[in-house]
């Protein structure tokens, strides 16, 4: 316990611990406080708990651990906070300390193995996803689902199965050239981060991103042997692994000359923009990380903040937009996707009530805390249904999976799409014949 306290003091500076001025403004935006109305489930309450532990006033126990894992890591509190509290930074470091001294359950050992041994290697992730792919196509899955066997006896496993991404036939990095050329005149040099789960389970979205970039006049570098960005590791307290992955990405991408590093995954983009936070103690990488992060752009930022003139086709769809937490709260990207959607001719756009509130996906929160996650999903689905939209657009793979599950749960005929896929399907090819 004392060792954990020392570790916490080494990792978390007094400045970070004393930023909170206890104003309580964050309480109204915190989804977990909204549900419990307990101070300890609020950002302010959690900061107090961390501080009390650091100051030797309380010991680590079930309540402390539970409050840290109950937090979605959605960062809505950071957007609301007038004092600039770096809540995510504090929360990630606390989870890292908790992981070090904790007795693990079977579920947590499996998660640790997946994060540290599978997700860290593109080859291993591909082998793992191939197994999942064959299972998803197999008679076994059909049988388990048709008999409700899995659902009734192993309800948590059943939900995990339902929330798992459908593995793509081929990983996107096997379909995308290392260098892709623009359809017409070249205006920009960009690099593209394919992601880990995006690469094996959302290959079509990565292809759509490349298509949109080509239509936007980009020469695109998509280096082979890219690594996972490390966001999932950091969110689950595996900071050393996250740092290793960040280093390998920084070293790989610096070999290419580019102006922007494009991401289509909110969680990856937010984390890559903050790589420098990982290297406070490692001065060799501080400068490199700053340079790397300064070039990271979400695809919707890139489209709206540059001289991009996409030729849109008319589309008479009723659309709404769900803000992924790590796009709106992690990167401050709010107006850009709306600007894109509202520039589409014929579109009917309805703003989603509480659009910036977490859908409950939150990385792997929906696997680790299924019941809580479903409460947040239910709130989100009620708001989505109220918009009467046929299509919900968003910018993060986790939200796509969670909302697709929500649509199934509520038996609604609503299409959940990544905004870049929608943009690609509504733009004409630029190529001059
Ligand atoms: S990250 Fe989200 S859930 Fe956690 S304290 Fe902040 S607002 Fe609440
Ligand atoms: S808004 Fe910021 S300063 Fe105010 S209580 Fe919340 S975390 Fe503390």
Beta-carbon contacts of 409 under 8 Å, excluding residues fewer than 6 positions away, are: 377, 381
Percentage of the residues of the chain whose pLDDT score is greater than 70 = 96
Q: Is 83 in the pocket of ligand 2 (CB under 6 A)?
A: yes
Q: Assess whether pLDDT exceeds 60 at residue 274.
A: yes
Spatial separation of the C-alpha atoms in residues 149 and 88, rounded to whole Å: 40
Average pLDDT over residues 284-291: 93
- The predicted pLDDT at position 430 comes to 60
Please say whether the beta carbons of 279 and 249 come within 8 A. no
- The predicted pLDDT at position 105 comes to 72
Spatial separation of the C-alpha atoms in residues 298 and 385, rounded to whole Å: 27
The CA 370 to ligand 2 mean position distance, Å, reads 28
Residue range(s) in the chain whose domain bears CATH number 3.40.50.11810: 309-425
pLDDT in tens, 358-412: 999 988 888 889 999 999 999 999 999 999 999 999 999 999 999 999 999 999 9
**Ligand number, closest to the Cα atom of 46:** 1
Atom of ligand 1 lying closest to residue 80 CA: 7
pLDDT in tens, 318-345: 999 999 999 999 999 999 999 999 999 9
- The predicted pLDDT at position 386 comes to 97
Percentage of the residues of the chain whose pLDDT score is greater than 90 = 69
Q: Assess whether pLDDT exceeds 80 at residue 155.
A: no
- The predicted pLDDT at position 243 comes to 94
Q: Assess whether pLDDT exceeds 80 at residue 146.
A: no
- The predicted pLDDT at position 54 comes to 87
Output the CA angle 32-35-37, nearest 5 degrees. 90
Q: Assess whether pLDDT exceeds 60 at residue 433.
A: no
Average pLDDT over residues 200-206: 97
Atom of ligand 2 lying closest to residue 80 CA: 1
CA distances 343 to 304, 338, 401, Å, are 10, 8, 27
Q: Is 406 in the pocket of ligand 2 (CB under 6 A)?
A: no
pLDDT in tens, 73-129: 999 999 999 999 999 999 988 988 888 765 667 777 888 888 999 999 999 999 999
Output the CA angle 258-261-264, nearest 5 degrees. 150
- The predicted pLDDT at position 1 comes to 61
The CA 144 to ligand 2 mean position distance, Å, reads 47
The DSSP string of 281-329 is T-HHHHHHHHHHHHTEEEHHHHHHHTT----BPP---EEEE---HHHHH
Q: Assess whether pLDDT exceeds 80 at residue 245.
A: yes
The CA 338 to ligand 1 mean position distance, Å, reads 24
Tell me the longest C-alpha to C-alpha distance in the chain.
Answer: 73
- The CATH architecture assigned to 172-304 reads Up-down Bundle (1.20)
Among the listed residues 256, 206, 249, the one whose alpha carbon sits nearest the alpha carbon of residue 229: 249
pLDDT in tens, 44-68: 999 999 999 888 888 888 899 999 9
pTM confidence score: 0.92
In eight-state DSSP terms, residue 25 is G
Q: Is 43 in the pocket of ligand 2 (CB under 6 A)?
A: yes
Among the listed residues 334, 309, 330, the one whose alpha carbon sits nearest the alpha carbon of residue 321: 334
- The predicted pLDDT at position 103 comes to 63
Tokens of 237: 């307290």
Fold that domain 309-425 belongs to in CATH: Rossmann fold (3.40.50)
Beta-carbon contacts of 123 under 8 Å, excluding residues fewer than 6 positions away, are: none
Q: Assess whether pLDDT exceeds 90 at residue 152.
A: no
Residue range(s) in the chain whose domain bears CATH number 1.10.1060.10: 2-101
Q: Is 103 in the pocket of ligand 2 (CB under 6 A)?
A: no
The CA 80 to ligand 2 mean position distance, Å, reads 8
Output 96 or 198, whichever has higher pLDDT: 198
Return the residue whose CA atom lies nearest to atom 4 of ligand 2: 23
Spatial separation of the C-alpha atoms in residues 99 and 105, rounded to whole Å: 12
Q: Locate tokens 């020469």: which residue?
A: 219
Q: Is 90 in the pocket of ligand 2 (CB under 6 A)?
A: no
Atom of ligand 1 lying closest to residue 73 CA: 1
Spatial separation of the C-alpha atoms in residues 262 and 273, rounded to whole Å: 11
- The predicted pLDDT at position 303 comes to 96
Q: Assess whether pLDDT exceeds 80 at residue 151.
A: no
Measuring from each residue's beta carbon to the nearest atom of ligand 1, which residues come in under 6 Å?
29-32, 43, 46, 71-77, 87
Q: Is 18 in the pocket of ligand 2 (CB under 6 A)?
A: no
Average pLDDT over residues 306-329: 93
Return the residue whose CA atom lies nearest to atom 6 of ligand 1: 77
Spatial separation of the C-alpha atoms in residues 46 and 67, rounded to whole Å: 7
Tokens of 76: 């809505």
Among the listed residues 209, 241, 301, the one whose alpha carbon sits nearest the alpha carbon of residue 114: 241
Instruction: Report the residue among 18, 22, 30 best suited for mutation to probe ligand 2: largest number of ligand atoms under 8 A from its CB.
Output: 22
- The predicted pLDDT at position 355 comes to 97
Strand partners, 263: 298
E strands within 203-340? 218-221, 260-263, 296-298, 318-321
Residue range(s) in the chain whose domain bears CATH number 1.20.1050: 172-304
Average pLDDT, the chain: 91
Q: Locate tokens 């680790």: which residue?
A: 368
Output 178 or 105, whichever has higher pLDDT: 178
Average pLDDT over residues 151-179: 84
Q: 2-101 maps to which CATH number?
A: 1.10.1060.10
Spatial separation of the C-alpha atoms in residues 74 and 329, rounded to whole Å: 7
Q: Locate tokens 């591909």: which residue?
A: 126
Q: Assess whether pLDDT exceeds 70 at residue 211.
A: yes
């Amino acid at each position: 316990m004392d060792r954990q306290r020392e570790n916490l003091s080494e990792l978390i500076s007094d400045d970070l611990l004393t930023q909170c001025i206890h104003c309580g403004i964050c309480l109204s935006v915190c989804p977990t406080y909204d549900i419990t109305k307990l101070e300890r489930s609020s950002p302010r309450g959690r900061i107090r708990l961390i501080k009390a532990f650091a100051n030797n006033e309380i010991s680590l126990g079930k309540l402390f651990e539970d409050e840290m894992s109950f937090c979605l890591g959605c960062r809505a509190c950071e957007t609301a906070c007038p004092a600039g509290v770096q809540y995510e930074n504090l929360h990630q470091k606390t989870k890292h300390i908790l992981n070090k001294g904790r007795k693990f359950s079977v579920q947590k050992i499996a998660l640790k193995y997946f994060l540290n041994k599978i997700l860290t290697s593109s080859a291993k992730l591909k082998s793992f996803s191939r197994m999942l792919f064959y299972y998803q196509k197999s008679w076994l899955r059909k049988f388990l689902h048709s008999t409700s066997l899995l659902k009734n006896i192993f309800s948590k496993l059943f939900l995990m199965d339902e929330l798992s991404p459908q593995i793509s036939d081929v990983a996107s990095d096997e379909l995308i050239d290392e260098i892709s050329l623009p359809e017409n005149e070249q205006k920009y040099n960009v690099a593209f981060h394919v992601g880990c789960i995006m690469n094996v389970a959302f290959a079509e979205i990565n292809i759509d991103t490349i298509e949109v970039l080509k239509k936007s006049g980009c020469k695109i570098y998509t280096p082979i042997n890219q690594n996972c960005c490390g966001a999932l590791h950091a969110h689950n307290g595996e900071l050393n692994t996250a740092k290793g992955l960040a280093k390998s990405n920084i070293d790989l991408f610096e070999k290419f000359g580019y102006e922007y590093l494009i991401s289509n995954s909110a969680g990856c983009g937010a984390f890559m923009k903050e790589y420098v936070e990982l290297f406070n103690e490692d001065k060799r990488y501080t400068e490199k990380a700053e340079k790397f992060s300064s070039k990271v752009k979400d695809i919707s930022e890139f489209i709206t903040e540059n001289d991009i003139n996409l030729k849109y086709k008319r589309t008479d769809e009723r659309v709404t937009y769900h803000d992924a937490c790590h796009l709106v709260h992690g990167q401050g990207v709010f107006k850009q996707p709306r600007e894109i959607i509202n520039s589409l001719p014929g579109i009917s756009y309805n703003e989603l009530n509480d659009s910036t509130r977490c859908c409950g996906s939150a990385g792997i929160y929906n696997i680790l805390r299924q019941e809580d996650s479903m409460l947040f999903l239910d709130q989100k689905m009620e708001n989505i249904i109220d918009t009467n939209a046929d299509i919900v657009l968003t910018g993060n793979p986790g939200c796509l999976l969670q909302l697709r599950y929500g649509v199934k749960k509520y038996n609604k005929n609503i299409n959940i799409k990544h905004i870049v896929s929608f943009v690609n399907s509504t733009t004409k090819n630029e190529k001059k014949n």
